[in-house]
Amino acid sequence: MNPSDRIAALRAEIEAHNYAYYVQDSPTVPDAHYDKLLRELEALEAEHPHLVTPESPTQRVGAPAQDGFATVQHEIPMLSLGNAFNAEELTQFVQRVSDRLDKAGSQSEPAFCCEPKLDGIAIALHYEAGRLVRAATRGDGAAGEDITANVRTIPSVPLKLRGNDWPAWLEVRGEVYMPRAGFTALNERALAHNEKTYMNPRNAASGSLRQLNPAITRQRPLEFCAYGWGLIREPVKPLPDSQFERLRLFHEWGLRINPEMQRLQGLHELLAYYDRLAEVRDDLPYEIDGIVYKVDAIIQQDLLGFVSRAPRWAIAHKFPAQEALTVLDKIDFQIGRTGAVTPVARLQPVQVGGVTVSNATLHNMDEIARLDLHEGDTVIVHRAGDVIPKVLGAVVERRPADARRVPLPDSCPICDAPITREEGEVVARCTGGVTCGAQRLEALKHFVARRAMDIDGVGEKLLQALVDRQWVMHFSDLFRLTREQLLDLERMGEKSADNVLSSLEASKQTTLPRFLFALGIREVGETTARNLARYFGTLDRLMAAGVEELEAVPDVGPIMARHIQSFFHQEHNREEIEALIGLGVHWPAEVADSTVALPLSGQTWVVTGKLETASRDQVKADLQALGARVAGSVSAQTDCLIAGPGAGSKLKRAEELGVAVIDEATWLARRADYRGEEAAT
C-alpha cells in the first residue's frame, strides 16, 4: 500500500475509534492498539509532510501560543434561556406554549426535547464542507471570541464530520464542559505543584478554553456536547422537523449528544424527568444545574418565535443552587477524638442545594491559607447532595477593610493544653490527650461503637451525662459503673439500667482486632487492627514491637508505625489496658501469621452509581484500606466494579469487557468477610 493510501486508511480507522470512544462511549480497541495506530500515522506524516491535512487526527496538538483572541460575529445570535425555578413556573411555561400554538392554528399538543443542562461554556462550531473551520465562544450573544485552535484539541469535537450528507455550511452549538473525574485530577495536579486550583468544573472549563497556548488546553480533560444549531446553508437533503431527530442526525455525523436526552409530552412527563435526573444528579459523570425543555417540532418553534433575548419555545428548569454567596463571620476550632484541630467556618445562613447552611469544614490551616480566607470575607459555598458543605474561596473584591486573618491558636479551646503541629504534617493537634474533654467524649464514643467494643445502649447522650458527673473519665470506668449510679441519671429506669449493665458485661468478650480498634490508636482503622492482630498474635508481642517490626505489617508505614509504638510506650495507655483486662475484657487467642497480606492487594476496583449505606468516597476508602487500587474508569485491567442504581457508561463498559460486577449488598457482604466481621443487615 502506498503512503497516501495507508495514511488515509489510518485516519479513517483512528477517527472510527475516536467516534466510538468519545461520542458513543463504547471503546472498540485497547488504548495500546490505538496508540500504535496514532504513532504509525505520525511517523508517516513526518516522512510525507505534503500529505498532512488540517483534519488529520495528528493535528489536535494545537497551534503556537496566541497574543489574544479575534472577535467572531454570530450570524444568528446565541440567545440565553428563560428560567423556571419550580413546578409552578414550568406549568405556566407549558400553558403559555399551548395557548400560543392554539392561537397560531397549531392544534397538536407539543412534544418536548428534554436534556440535562450541562454546567459548562456555550460555543459554536462552524463546519464548511464537513470540515471544522472555526469555533467561537458565545460571548455577549452577538459576538464571541475565536477559540478554534483550542477547540481543535478537544477529542470529542470532530475535525471532519462523518458521512457525506451534511450541509455545505453547518453551525453546531453546544457546551464544552469538564467531567468530574477530570476536574478532580486537574486540581490534584495543581495542588501537587503548589498551583492555584479551580473552584468548580465550569470555572475550570472556562479557564482551559481561554488559554492563549492551545498546548495547555490540550492537557485539560474537556468534552463537547451538542444541543442545537445556528446558521445552516445548502443542506444536501431536508433536515428533520424535530429538535430530537436533528440532534440524533448530528450524532450520526460524529458529534456527541447527551445520552439522557428524551422526547416527552405532557407536564407530568416533564416533571417526572426532572425528578429522576435530580435524584441521580450527583452520580452523573458531569455537573448539571437543571433541565432544558425545548418544543420539539421546528415548525412549532418558528410559530412561537422569540422574546427579547430568549426563545419562547425553550426554558431551563433549574435545580436548587449548589453554590451560593454568604459572609464568613468567624472561624472556630474543633478538637477531634485524636486531638486533631479542625477549623470550622461559621457562616451567615444561606440556602444551598435546598438546605440552610451555616457551617462548613475548612479541614486544616493549609486550606485556609490556600483559599486566602479572612473573617468577614464574602465566600462561595458549595453543597452537592448529602456532601458536607464546602467553602470554595473568597470573593476578594468584596473583602471589607476590617477583614481579619485567623492564626492557629496556641492552646486548646477545651482544655487549654498546647497545640502543636509536627513538621511535615498538615494537621495540628491538641496535646491534652484524655485530659481534654473534647477528646475524652469522642474517644469514648469510638470505644463503644458497634465496630469497636459494640456496647449496645451506650450512646452519646449517656456518655455525656457520665462524663459530666465525672463517673467515666477513662474507658475502664465504664466497666466500674454500678446500677445505683445509672438509676441516679435522668430518664434512666430500672430496665434501661439493667440493659446497659448487660451490654457492658457482654462486650467484655471481644476479639483482639476489635479491642485494638477500640483503643483509638492514631491512624489505626479496622483493617490495620486486624492485620496487627494476625501478624503478632498476642497483645504483649504487639506492645513490645519496635518501629521496624511494625513496618513489616501490611498497611503499616513509617508514620503509622511511630504512632503505634508511641501509643504503647505511654504509661497511662499501658495502665488503661491493664485495667480493662483486669476488669474482665478478654478475647480468644490469635494465630500469628507474619505472611498476612491485604485481601485486595494488586487488584483494581471501580465504584459507580448511587449507594445507599455509605458515600462513594467511604467505599473507596474501604477498598484502599483493603489494599485495592481505586480507579476512575473501567478498563481491561479492572478486577471488579461496584455498581449502584443509576450506573451508566461504566457499567456498560464493564459488561463489554467481561469485568466482574457486584451490587452494594454483595460488596457489604464481601467487606465483612475480608474484615472478619458479620455483614450489616
Residues with catalytic annotation? 117
Q: Where are the beta strands (DSSP E) in 234-313?
A: 262-265, 288-295, 306-307, 310-311
**Is 78 exposed, middle or buried (CB count within 10 Å of its CB: 0-12, 13-18, 19+)?**
buried
- The Cα–Cα gap between 505 and 252 comes to 70
Phi, psi of 451 (to 5 degrees): -85, -5
Q: Which of 511, 539, 394 is nearest to 454 (CA)?
A: 511
Q: Work out whether strand 262-265 and strand 71-73 pair parallel, antiparallel, or are unpaired.
A: unpaired
CA angle 213, 57, 118 (to 5 degrees): 65
> What's the number of CA atoms in the CB half-sphere (13 Å) around residue 517?
22
CA angle 567, 570, 574 (to 5 degrees): 90
- The Cα–Cα gap between 67 and 53 comes to 25
- The Cα–Cα gap between 273 and 262 comes to 9
- The Cα–Cα gap between 3 and 493 comes to 91
With helix as H, strand as E and coil as C, how does 589-627 read?
A: CCCCCCCCCCCCCCCEEEEECCCCCCCHHHHHHHHHHCC
DSSP letter for 659, please: -
Helices and strands (H and E) in the chain: how many: 24, 24
Beta bridge partners of 593: none
Which residue type, as a one-letter code, is found at position 28? T
User: Phi-psi region for residue 24, left (φ > 0), alpha (ψ -120 to 50) or beta?
Assistant: alpha
Q: Dihedral, CA atoms, 644, 650, 652, 655, nearest 10 degrees?
A: -90
Helix segments in 179-319, DSSP class H = 180-192, 201-209, 214-218, 243-252, 267-280, 298-304
3-state SS assignment for residue 355? strand
For the stretch 285-297, what's the b/e string if a residue is b when 16 or more beta carbons lie within 10 angstroms of its beta carbon?
bbbbbbbbbbbbb
